[in-house]
Structure 1
């Protein structure tokens, strides 16, 4: 963990979770040519215990999933050589349909599980999850119906007006004037760890960007590496999430890239769109 102040509160239902917000040690704009001196602080965490562990990329998250997750979950395969199938394209095209702007209609097979998990990762770890109206659409599209109501209630409590203000966002999850809030996930690879025709578990290895781009931001945009584990069920003729959790890494040695200006970062996020993923 990088040094810095921390603010922790307990929340969740069916147990106790934590929201941990890390603030930079020094205020001011770190953009404008500064080089990062290593890997930035990992994600703080919002845990919804008993039903689903919800991660926000914008703030840092570090869930430990009942104490079984490690900082490099999914990084090794018991010492064996990598399976070439883990990176080889399946040849299957991405799904052509969307619901509420989210890919839908995945095949009832392992390839469909991986595609669903990958596409769900990009929306579950996004700036949109902080916006109340959009969050409702995401939850109702991504999750099985029997988890939706309790999850919506828990998320509304977790992402309160006070919580959002600590991120520099208003009650609607929007950044203040002159700032652009960034949270974008890029899947690197995926694998199925268990599968049946009605239930499956998949891991998605990701990198991402999160923070606030602005000349006076105290939460500058930085990058992170993490693995999402999604438990899926076949419901309503599609794969839907039952729950998911996050662990740190695997992370490469950080490069010595020159940090872009806040304006350049905000412009890139606004101009470059995302993808629909297929395994």
Structure 2
């Protein structure tokens, strides 16, 4: 979610091998074998094969093959420039799914009971980004319940007042909502956070700092809407603390991007967007 409009959250193309006409065989050339003997246009009878040359060629091929295999399987020489560069790249495990099951528990409809591990902190931050980017944040009671659930008690107490002021009647009106955050009849208000990935910036046994890269949807879908549903790309960073038996947020901030090049698909109609929002539910995320 917001996103820019959301206040109060801190600050293979085919190659030549695919072309059957690109091979040398496509020339369909033939070779004529001349009779052996003195009639050979190059003069003289054919000479017996030179076995020593063939042996040299075979040995050379074997040496090259062994060298190629050794190069491909070369171990990690920390002194080499190539390996030094590769050491800076993230390994596959840093972006691959862990396979850890999502949590089973919920508190106030929000995923809870994340393990006190690095993976648990990432899962918590991801699910908290989802709920903090939901339509529930635009209603006072729903917002307070969300904040009390995902933030520490101290952080929640400091945050609710400024958030209430930010979600003012004027702000809600600009979003197309009434003073209580309700959607006009015949319209669908859309506010969703869709996480793309996470990154642990800091981790200790009782605290963590996790960045969540996400795309979001926000806007009003319906007849006469002056704020159509649009997408946004942001990174939401959460400072987490292990509190009681779960991870809780102590502070958070957002920055724009990274944003990919927009696609060239035509925007769907308001009816199609409204139907999709009603029919497609969200997820509980696990790192």
Q: Output the TM-score relative to the length of structure 1.
A: 0.72
Counterpart of 1:198?
206
Whether 1:178 aligns to 2:186 is yes
Counterpart of 2:53?
none
Whether 1:144 aligns to 2:152 is yes
Question: Of 164, 171, 184, which aligns to 1:163?
Answer: 171
Give the distance between the partners of 2:108 and 2:165, measured in 1 at CA: 23
SS of 2:137's equivalent in the other structure is helix
Q: Which has the larger radius of gyration?
A: 2
Counterpart of 2:49?
none
Question: Of 43, 51, 67, which aligns to 2:4?
Answer: 43
Determine if contact 2:7/2:167 at 8 Å carries over to the other structure: no
The 3 A distance-change label for structure 1 pair 83 and 172 is: farther
The 3 A distance-change label for structure 1 pair 165 and 124 is: same
The 3 A distance-change label for structure 1 pair 122 and 99 is: same
Which structure's residues are more often strand, by fraction? Answer: 1
SS of 1:111's equivalent in the other structure is helix
Tell which deviates more after alignment, 106-115 or 164-173: 164-173
Whether 1:53 aligns to 2:14 is no
SS of 1:46's equivalent in the other structure is coil
The 3 A distance-change label for structure 1 pair 42 and 204 is: closer
Q: Deviations over 1:50-82 (max 9, x none)?
A: xx617xxxxxxxxxxxxxxxxxxxxxxxx9434
- 1:258 deviates by 1.3
Whether 1:128 aligns to 2:136 is yes
Give the distance between the partners of 2:143 and 2:3, measured in 1 at CA: 23
Alignment of 1:253-272 (within 5 A): 253-272=261-280
- 1:42 deviates by 7.3
Counterpart of 1:238?
246
- 1:150 deviates by 2.1
Tell which deviates more after alignment, 82-91 or 109-118: 82-91
* Shift >4 Å, 4+ stretches: none
Give the distance between the partners of 1:204 and 1:164, measured in 2 at CA: 26
Give the distance between the partners of 2:174 and 2:277, measured in 1 at CA: 22
How well do the aligned residues superpose, as a CA RMSD in angstroms? 1.8
The 3 A distance-change label for structure 1 pair 131 and 257 is: same
Relative contact order: is structure 1 or structure 2 higher (C-alpha 8 Å, sep ≥ 6)?
1
Question: Of 189, 195, 216, which aligns to 1:208?
Answer: 216
- 1:126 deviates by 1.6
Give the distance between the partners of 2:187 and 2:94, measured in 1 at CA: 39
Consecutive unaligned residues in structure 1, runs of 5 or more: 1-40, 55-78
- 1:187 deviates by 0.4
Give the distance between the partners of 1:253 and 1:115, measured in 2 at CA: 27
Question: Of 257, 260, 285, which aligns to 1:277?
Answer: 285
